[in-house]
A and B are shown apart, each in its own frame.
Chain A
Amino acid sequence: MAERRNDNKREPWRDPGAQPYIQIENVTKRFGDFVAVNNVSLKIYQHEIFCLLGGSGCGKTTLLRMLAGFEAPSSGRILIDGKDMADTPPYERPTNMMFQSYALFPHMSVAKNVSFGLEQEKLPKAEIAQRVDEILDIVKMREFAQRKPHQLSGGQRQRVALARALAKRPKLLLLDEPLGALDKKLREQTQFELISIQERLGVTFVVVTHDQEEAMTLASRIGVMNRGEIVQVGTPSEIYEFPGTRFVADFIGSVNTFEGRLIEDLPDRVRIESHELGGVVYVDHGISSAPGAVVWAAIRPEKINLSRTAPAQSAENCVKGVVKEIAYMGDLSIYLVQIGSGKTVRVTLPNIERLSDDERILWDEHVYLSWHSSSPVVLSQ
């Protein structure tokens, strides 16, 4: 995760006086009877990398295409830099887009692809050539300038597509699944390159992705979308540590949820009696819900401890279970533990030490699951 410093300059959304660069106001897009984007409102600030994250068909690409001007909202409005974009065609918007398919012009060389946008601005030839060289240097593709797109590898095409979108020095760059076609290693490497390019050029990025890891790595903020609606907006750590709904908790990373009833609801602590857990969850932060209401306690797998002996205070936030499955992943191991209620709980443990077989917790062992009272998140929907 790319952690950013916590001040108003880096996090303009915390500053009520900051002027958003993009304002999406109650935008809805219908295709016939199908509502692709449903009443979405968003504010995106300059120099952000804003990720729209969601599964396929959640409306994230439609929202991006409305920013680019390829689709018009059925209702609501979009302002970029304070200007209503309703009557501005794509070729007059201050945005450029990097397409999922890269959409490189197959009959033009790399240099021609990159200079295409600059030629539309009627710049002098010498300046175009200089700017093409400059941007190809940034994406490290200068030696391939005379190649045609079909002579490039996937990663190289991705760089050319990025260079072409950046060549006009747009204030806003829209990226549609920018790293989707790359393999995992290349993708990780490119993610950090994207961030460094974004910081160097000071462009605002809006990125569409279905890959939560990619969103976590790139984003200053993430907007999680589901069925055409924005479900939650926040920094990667906010979204991960304090998901607002079970959908978000489950979509970003994995999570164990225990349905239960509020038996104590105070500003600084909450107790939930859960039949799915067969015990009580004690949480050291408050939520606002009526006592007796049905809620869910969500606990991330890495926040659960696994031990053979009962922890010191085992009355609450502790449950017994039997190890059913172990998956060794190298850096960590995933344990699936069946607890008394029959529910299977997922626990991940980092493999810090090399343990011998009799030290490791193995299949069919009886274990105690426990967690700190700050770990659970209480969700009411």
Chain B
Amino acid sequence: MMKKGRHWFSKTGLWFGLAFLYVPIISMIVFSFNNSRLVTVWDAANSPTLKWYGELLRNEQILGAAWLSIRIAAMTASGAVILGTLAGLVLARFGPFRGRALLSGMTTAPLVMPEVITGLSMLLLFVALEQLIGWPEGRDITTITIAHITFAMAYVTIVVQSRLAGFDQSLEEAALDLGARPAKVFFRITLPLIVPAIMSGWLLAFTLSWDDVVISQFVAGPGSTTLPMVIFSKVRLGVSPDVNALASIMVLIVAIGVVASAIWMRRQERRRDREMQMAAAANK
């Protein structure tokens, strides 16, 4: 009796939770196939249709913005991974040094800093710099990328640092002991072992940059409008059905990425299990 009650409860909870997360997205995807120009009215006679998807492909502004966003996100992710890995290394490896607590706090502060403040301060910095040394000239893809790196780096730092914390330090000592210089130890031992953390840090930074609106608003100039900024400005003029189509494509891309990485990880795990079994069998 009791068990059945619990079962019922957990099942309902699961469905409510899933619905809460996914109903908005599903309704958006459904409406992206709507023929009607009014987003909220379902045109049963002529739907579903791929009309808005076709329109998207002809929309130069959106295609340009998407390409810009991809480039910014890729550059941001790469830059954040380099800086974040270095910061994570210093925090995890260099023991107690002067200013460690300060560095630790400063690198992770952007996680909790309101984006408005980050964006505003970046803008002020860029303007001041331009007046002082003439760089950066105006606001464009460079300034957006720099601003994105500053906040995405914090996430990479934390991912890398936690990976290094669970890392047997005697591996590095063993490499030193065998005659490898510190730089070589890093590239032959440390780096290969933290690559999974760096990869996930890269993906995280990519998605953070890809969907950022607030900071981009501050540091973008004319001619450097990212995809989220386009969507945002379109929505302000009223939700148009092609935005639904655009958003659906973004959901699809993200979903493919998640599923692909999950399958890849499953395969790796299976291969590892198989190898372990082979080893166990050989030891008998």
**Which residues of A are at the interface with B, using a C-beta cutoff of 8 A?**
68-70, 89-92, 95-97, 99-101, 103, 105-107, 116-117, 120-121, 147-148, 150-153, 156, 164, 168
Contact check, B180 vs A99: say whether CB atoms are below 8 A apart: no
Interface 9-residue window, one of B37-45, B47-55, B141-149, B272-280: B272-280
Interface contact A70-B283, CB-CB below 8 Å: no
Contact with A along B148-187 (1 / 0, CB 8 A): 0000000000000000000010110111111111001000
The answer to whether A90 touches B173, judged by C-beta atoms less than 8 angstroms apart, is yes
Q: How far is the CA of A150 from the CA of B175 in the complex (A)?
A: 18
User: A120–B173 contact, CB under 8 A?
Assistant: no
Contact between A99 and B176, CB atoms less than 8 A apart: no
User: Closest chain A residue to B178 by CB distance?
Assistant: A117
**Nearest B residue to A97 by beta-carbon distance?**
B177
Interface residues of B in 79-108 (CB under 8 A from A): none
Given pairs A100-B170, A148-B275, 7 additional interface contacts (CB within 8 A): A101-B170, A103-B173, A105-B189, A116-B188, A117-B178, A120-B178, A151-B278
Q: Is the CB of A103 within 8 A of B278?
A: no
Which B247-284 residues have a C-beta within 8 angstroms of A? Answer: 272, 275-276, 278-279, 283
Q: Is B63 located at the chain interface by the 8 A CB criterion? A: no
Report yes or no: A120 in contact with B177, Cβ–Cβ below 8 A: no
Contact of B171 among A69, A100, A103, A168 (CB under 8 A): A103
Q: B17 interface residue, CB < 8 Å from A?
A: no
**21 pairs across A/B with beta carbons < 8 Å?**
A70-B173, A91-B179, A91-B180, A99-B173, A101-B168, A105-B174, A116-B178, A116-B180, A117-B178, A120-B178, A120-B179, A121-B179, A150-B272, A150-B275, A150-B276, A151-B276, A151-B278, A152-B279, A153-B279, A153-B283, A168-B178
| B125 partner residues in chain A, CB cutoff 8 A | none
A314 to B192, CA, bound (A): 74
The CB with the most chain A CB atoms within 10 A, among B171, B174, B179, B180, is that of B174
Is the CB of B193 closer than 8 A to any CB of chain A? Answer: yes
Consensus secondary structure, chain B interface: helix
Q: Are A164 and B178 in contact (CB under 8 A)?
A: yes
Q: Which residues on the B side are within 8 Å of A69 (C-beta)?
A: 177
Q: Which residues of B contact A156 (CB under 8 A)?
A: 283
> For the side of the interface on B, what is the size category?
20 to 34
The answer on a CB contact under 8 Å between A90 and B275 is no
List the B side residues contacting A107 at CB < 8 Å: 192-193
**B contact residues around A96 at 8 Å (CB):** 177-178
The reply to whether B168 and A120 contact each other, CB–CB distance below 8 Å, is no
CA distance A153 to B168 in the complex (A): 19
Q: What chain B residues lie within 8 Å of A106 (beta carbons)? A: 171, 193
A101 CA / B278 CA spacing, docked (Å): 24
- One digit per residue, 1 when the CB lies within 8 angstroms of any chain A CB and 0 when it does not, for chain B 177-220 equals 11111001000110011000000000000000000000000000
Q: How far is the CB of A290 from chain B (nearest CB, A)?
A: 51
On whether the beta carbons of A68 and B276 are closer than 8 Å, the reply is no
Q: Which of A91, A95, A103, A117 contacts B181 (CB 8 A)?
A: A91
A99–B174 CB distance below 8 A: yes
CB A275 to nearest CB in B, in angstroms, measures 51
Docked complex Cα distance between A96 and B276 (Å): 30
CB-CB < 8 A to A105: which residues of B? 171, 174-175, 189
Asked if B170 and A91 make an inter-chain contact with CB atoms under 8 angstroms apart, the answer reads no
Contacts of A101 in B (CB 8 A): 168, 170
Q: Which residue of B lies closest to A153 (CB)?
A: B283
Which of B170, B175, B275 contacts A151 (CB under 8 A)? B275
The contact of B180 among A97, A103, A120, A164, by CB within 8 Å, is: A120
Q: How far is the CA of A256 from the CA of B177 in the complex (A)?
A: 44
A260 CB to nearest B CB, Å? 48
Neighbour of B175 across the interface among A70, A100, A116, A153, CB < 8 A: A116
Contact A95 B179 (CB under 8 A): no
User: How far apart are the CA atoms of A69 and B181 in the complex, in Å?
Assistant: 13
Are A90 and B189 in touch, CB under 8 angstroms?
no
Interfacial chain A residues near B177, Cβ < 8 Å: 68-69, 90-91, 95-97
A100 to B168, CA, bound (A): 11
**A168 partner residues in chain B, CB cutoff 8 A:** 178-179
What CA separation (Å) do A147 and B280 show in the bound complex?
12
In the complex, the chain B residue whose C-beta lies closest to that of A99 is B170
- Smallest CB separation, B133 vs chain A (Å): 41
B176 surroundings in chain A (CB, below 8 A): 70, 89-91
Closest chain A CB from B97 CB (angstroms):
14
Q: CA separation between A116 and B188, bound complex, in Å?
A: 10
B141 → chain A closest CB, angstroms: 37
Docked pose: A97 CA to B170 CA in angstroms: 10
Q: Which 5 residue pairs spanning A and B have beta carbons closest together?
A: A117-B178, A151-B279, A120-B179, A103-B174, A103-B170
CA distance A89 to B185 in the complex (A): 14
Separation of A106 and B170 alpha carbons in the complex (Å): 12
- Among A89, A120, A168, max chain B CB count under 10 A is at A120
